[in-house]
Amino acid sequence: MLIAASIFTLLAVALHIFIWVLESFLWDKPRGMKVFNLTPEKAAVTKEMAVNQGLYNLFLALIALVGILGVWASVPWGAALVYAGAGSMAAAGIFLFATSPDKRRPALIQTSFPALAVLSLLLV
């Protein structure tokens, strides 16, 4: 299960780094506006918020990454960091799913890898 937890954690990390890039650098570019269904006007007004939100995604990814490396190094805090980083990613996705019916597909994408990482690590 440790290999599964590692793979799911790394997939969650990669996805959330990609989301950071979208929110921090591509928000008001054609790719970002298409992904988030934004008009140029709405993208301009919300860009500062998106960059801030992107940083949260980056930090959660880094926490989970350091955590899974810690798990492999057998340090006592490794699993705690995976639970904190990936667990927060999953919780945010669950909240998005529950509160925004029009965003259920992205919520499932955002939630699946980190939730599977946490569940796999619990079974180690």
What's residue 102's pLDDT? Answer: 92
Residue pLDDT, tens place only, 4-24: 999 999 999 999 999 999 999
Strand, helix or coil for residue 67? helix
Average pLDDT of span 25-51: 97
pTM, 2 dp: 0.94
Contact yes or no for 5/70 (Cβ under 8 A): no
- Tokens 């990669």 found at: 14
DSSP for 85-116, please give it: HHHHHHHHHHHHHHH-GGGHHHHHHHHHHHHH
Give dist(CA 3, CA 72) in Å, integer: 10
Label residue 122 exposed, middle or buried (CB < 10 Å: 0-12, 13-18, 19+): exposed
Torsions phi, psi of 26, nearest 5?
-115, 5
